[in-house]
Structure 1
Amino acid sequence: MAYYVIAGKLTCLNTTHALHIAETLSLRLPNFHYRRILKSDYDWPIWLDQLNSTNNWHETCCPLAWKEVGQMGGKPHLIGNLGHFWEYCFDYYGIQSWLSKTDLEKIKADDALMHTSGNKTSSEPQKISVTDANTHPMLELVIYELQQLFSPSTLEIKLYDANIPDDEDTDVFMLETLESYQVSGKSSPQSIVLVSTLREALQNCDVLIVLGDYRRLHSAFRKNTTNHENLGKTLISSRLPDEAADDWLNRCRLNMIILADEINSSASRSLKVILNHPGPICFNASVLMEYCTQIRLSNIVAVTTDEGLSVISTIAHQVDRPVEHFWCPAVWGFSGIMSFVGVACTPLTQVVIQPYKRSLKTKESSKLPKGEIVVEIKFVENLLKTEELFYEELEHRKERELDILQRPPVLAKVRALASLLKLWFAEVVTDEIISLGVCSNGAFRFPPGVCFSQPVSLNEKRIWEPVASLPLTSLTQRKVADIVLQVEGHLKNFGIGDRLR
């Protein structure tokens, strides 16, 4: 799929005409998507010079059109100025357009009014709240990503942490918190506000990001200094569970019920809740779906793509391919309790030489091209020797990583959260497929009304829907059936899913 870009000056009638045609095509053709870049007369030459330097172009006209193939923001392919754009539209779509100068002036006035009212789309969030702000190691990274994705001048980030002592001087604590961000140089403290109650965090909030640590409690660690004595430090070799499974899930359930009650009483109906924490993330999202009655169930999601991102390097090592050639594998199941990463179905791109027929007959001294270089999409299943050995190595690597870090890894979670927000609030809805914990509608034989991680895509109403047409391997079907069978007991014990049954 190609995404078109029309760039020009606000005061240019040619830019107005090109945007009018692009808008008409986008309304009539299902696969025509475009975005506009409008600059003032002062900013246009500076911006155009930077664009030419980046792409090695030599364009001077206004407007300028190009297309990005595959995904928005991809490599630009130049179409040209207005005349080239007209020729392109006529060749591909058979469309011609004539507008009088008076009509163009009216359209330009409307465009200028829209531009002055704000460059960002109405879907872009204004206020984002983050819970457990003082306890989670990835908070600074999350704040940095938020301010990279959205306009810092209008974005307000509210931080809330229930673990702040009641006798703590809030003003002093806020000053220390903001000072730490300023020293780190990763964020703009002017847009960060510390709130003392969950109600304040939810009022006038567009997006709620739930962090925190909901892992199962453990007793004293069993220590092992083998092969590390010379380093002078002790690593954790294993953890001894100190909390029964039902007690653990009930503790998480009670926390989510408290959050759901506050959402019902203080939040707007359009609030989007994103869970991105270690622990039973799909279970917690399911509890929120059960008890949140004032917001849409489709607005409650659990970030699970990080499970797929964290295994890409292991896959690349196994099949001896560069990491950048891999797509993210699908994540299935009740993440945080029982999930499955479909490694075998992971796509990867591979550059191959496709020979011409004449390559069999031409002489070696011939200067004619004997083939062309093309990019093919293959699956890891054909390159893995045995999946069992891969999953064993993967589990060993996770344990070793946890022992070294002394905490769950956070980089994959931050990256997954940023990708989710970028897609959810993009100007144009794409057909990209990601793994996400959403309210099941019965697709892939998951019980309806419960949060399960599965491949989803964003529809025209910006609602995440399972890609039910996605073909499954026999192994994935067995794993999904096993997961459903294993978690049914937890669902019945805690009454999850009853709301939609």
Structure 2
Amino acid sequence: MAKFVLAGKTNCPHYAKAELLADSLRRSLPNFTVHKISILPDDWKEWLEATCERNGWKHEHSPLIWRELVDQGGKGMLLGGFSDFLEHCQEYYSITSDMPTNIMLSVAAENLETKINLIMDEQHRVSHFQPLQIWIGSALSPACHILIPNLLSTEVFPQISAICLHLLDLDGNEEGLQWLKMETEDLALPLLNQVDIHTDLEQAFQEADVILLLDEWWSDDTENEDEEEKKRKIKEISDLYTEYGRLIDARAKKEVKVIVSGSSFVNLRCSLLLNNASSIDSRRFVTMATQLENEARAIMAKKLKVRTSDITDVIVWGNISGSFYIDLQRAKVFNYDGPIKGPPFFSQPVLQVFHDRKWLETEFQDFVRCQRAAVVSKTCQGAAMSATNGILTVLKAWNGTSSPDEVLSLGVLCTGHNNLPDGVVLSVPVTFSDGKWSVLFEATVGDELKERLQLSASELRQEKELGSENGMIVMNEEEET
């Protein structure tokens, strides 16, 4: 099989003539193949010199034509310019070229125009190829290892063709991040375009579309830590998330989606971001209570002898990391083995089939708190799988891949409506529609719940004060006395 390579300046008439001669041979001879390389006039000299040096050839003009020894391997056999190619075709194939000069010039001009248009189309395509920029804070946490394989999917980001993943860990070593990067790349996920690692804040949140913050502040003995240790921890959180907020404000895209995950000080952390990212809509910042929702669903499912997935629409109110309240006013149960039964899509209100209100107000609330504490005491960190599931659930809803009727509990900035405290981040029931969340105002906020929410708000304000500069001055005065 003969394979000829034709290279030349796009506006070269002799290159145009060689092209048409080669096309004629390809139509006549089934085993004759041609590969064409069209080079812009300004790039021709440099390309020609590099090609000749690489192959040990001497050639000075356009076109450059050689024959590749497809069956034998090795470097190609140089033929030369157009005259050499024409002589070769006449001798071996008895085919010649009688193209008039005017047609030769016309084809050359057309070649140049086509090449320029192709380059412009490619530049336009590249300029519009903007991968989604996802930043993950505390990337060496256990949750991140579970999150990554599930995050980079069309199920979570249905309209996205490529994702750049940024792994940020200020406390981690670069070697650990390199291993995580390598593992991520080895997954060969279709949406993954690039993985970058960061151990400082120099480039943090640059052009971010999505920011997932997995930071935790658990200690080996969280339950028994003293007040001074708590103050120190809150000050550390305050300093970091104040800086995070400023960087997000300056560097992230204005339509960024920020999710604060974890079990420790999540409302406070989200509030600090909001306070320091004033140019970004406060609705772009949320923290999730899905872990608490799922823990409550699991406990209730055991009580009703159904699967956890058969319990829906559980609401978490208040301070996710502190004085929260599990509310079943809208909760439904499917597949319940009671007096009334129906098909799989049939549900009943939980409060209609479970009548022990005292247990719901006391032991049930305590069980949810104890379940979380048990995880922390064993691992000294949040529940990684539960955190991952929560992040994915919120992102799917935010990106429009979940039912608009689905109710989720999110920590968001409250604005004083519907008896909710004003100006604090509290967990409330929300629904998503068209990529935006709305507080579910159909949920009843009675006097007792209102008091609970005021307690949560007061608790959060105290946490914020402890992390402020004034809080530190008070601490120092107390130490001196």
The alignment's TM-score, normalised by the length of structure 1, stands at 0.59
For residues 472 and 350 of structure 1, do their structure 2 counterparts lie closer, same or farther at Cα, with a shift above 3 Å needed?
A: farther
Looking at structure 1, the residues matched to 213 and 418 of structure 2 have their Cα atoms a distance apart, in angstroms, of: 27
Looking at structure 1, the residues matched to 414 and 404 of structure 2 have their Cα atoms a distance apart, in angstroms, of: 21
Residue 434 of structure 1: how far off its partner (Å): 1.0
Q: Do structure 1's residue 375 and structure 2's residue 346 form an aligned pair?
A: yes
Q: Percent identity between the aligned chains?
A: 15
1:479 corresponds to:
452
Q: What are structure 1's unaligned runs of at least 5 residues?
A: 1-116, 222-237, 356-370, 497-501
For residues 158 and 293 of structure 1, do their structure 2 counterparts lie closer, same or farther at Cα, with a shift above 3 Å needed?
A: same
Give deviations 1:353-400, integer Å, cap 9, x for gaps. 999xxxxxxxxxxxxxxx975823212464153222323333443333
For residues 296 and 351 of structure 1, do their structure 2 counterparts lie closer, same or farther at Cα, with a shift above 3 Å needed?
A: same
Choose which of 266, 287, 293 in structure 2 pairs with 1:308: 293
2:443 corresponds to:
470
Secondary structure (helix, strand or coil) at the match of 1:469 reads coil
Secondary structure (helix, strand or coil) at the match of 1:143 reads helix
- Checking the alignment, whether the CA contact within 8 Å between 1:260 and 1:291 is kept in structure 2 is yes
Give deviations 1:186-237, integer Å, cap 9, x for gaps. 998764222344342412220111112134x456x9xxxxxxxxxxxxxxxx
Residue 490 of structure 1: how far off its partner (Å): 3.8
Looking at structure 1, the residues matched to 235 and 315 of structure 2 have their Cα atoms a distance apart, in angstroms, of: 29
Counterpart of 1:150 in structure 2: which amino acid? Answer: F
Counterpart of 1:195 in structure 2: which amino acid? Answer: H
Q: Do structure 1's residue 391 and structure 2's residue 365 form an aligned pair?
A: yes
For residues 268 and 389 of structure 1, do their structure 2 counterparts lie closer, same or farther at Cα, with a shift above 3 Å needed?
A: closer
Secondary structure (helix, strand or coil) at the match of 1:311 reads helix
The answer to which of 312-321 and 409-418 deviates more is: 312-321
- Checking the alignment, whether the CA contact within 8 Å between 1:143 and 1:187 is kept in structure 2 is no
Residue 138 of structure 1: how far off its partner (Å): 0.7
For residues 186 and 328 of structure 1, do their structure 2 counterparts lie closer, same or farther at Cα, with a shift above 3 Å needed?
A: farther
1:158 corresponds to:
166
- Checking the alignment, whether the CA contact within 8 Å between 2:146 and 2:384 is kept in structure 1 is no
Q: Do structure 1's residue 177 and structure 2's residue 175 form an aligned pair?
A: no
Looking at structure 1, the residues matched to 224 and 180 of structure 2 have their Cα atoms a distance apart, in angstroms, of: 32
Looking at structure 2, the residues matched to 202 and 240 of structure 1 have their Cα atoms a distance apart, in angstroms, of: 33
Secondary structure (helix, strand or coil) at the match of 1:268 reads coil
Residue 259 of structure 1: how far off its partner (Å): 0.8
Choose which of 196, 208, 213 in structure 2 pairs with 1:210: 213
The answer to which of 306-315 and 146-155 deviates more is: 146-155
- Greater helix share, structure number: 2
For residues 259 and 383 of structure 1, do their structure 2 counterparts lie closer, same or farther at Cα, with a shift above 3 Å needed?
A: same
Residue 255 of structure 1: how far off its partner (Å): 0.8
Secondary structure (helix, strand or coil) at the match of 1:450 reads strand
Give deviations 1:413-439, integer Å, cap 9, x for gaps. 111110111111126882432111111
Q: Do structure 1's residue 452 and structure 2's residue 426 form an aligned pair?
A: yes
RMSD: 3.6
Give deviations 1:288-312, integer Å, cap 9, x for gaps. 1111123111101111221111221
Looking at structure 2, the residues matched to 494 and 428 of structure 1 have their Cα atoms a distance apart, in angstroms, of: 37
**Structure possessing the higher radius of gyration over alpha carbons:** 2
Q: Do structure 1's residue 144 and structure 2's residue 144 form an aligned pair?
A: no
2:51 corresponds to:
none
Secondary structure (helix, strand or coil) at the match of 1:348 reads strand
Number of residue-to-residue matches in the alignment: 336
Looking at structure 2, the residues matched to 353 and 163 of structure 1 have their Cα atoms a distance apart, in angstroms, of: 53
Choose which of 392, 395, 405 in structure 2 pairs with 1:421: 395
2:196 corresponds to:
193
Looking at structure 1, the residues matched to 301 and 392 of structure 2 have their Cα atoms a distance apart, in angstroms, of: 23
Q: Do structure 1's residue 294 and structure 2's residue 279 form an aligned pair?
A: yes
Residue 239 of structure 1: how far off its partner (Å): 4.3
Residue 254 of structure 1: how far off its partner (Å): 0.9
For residues 318 and 342 of structure 1, do their structure 2 counterparts lie closer, same or farther at Cα, with a shift above 3 Å needed?
A: same
Looking at structure 2, the residues matched to 397 and 273 of structure 1 have their Cα atoms a distance apart, in angstroms, of: 27
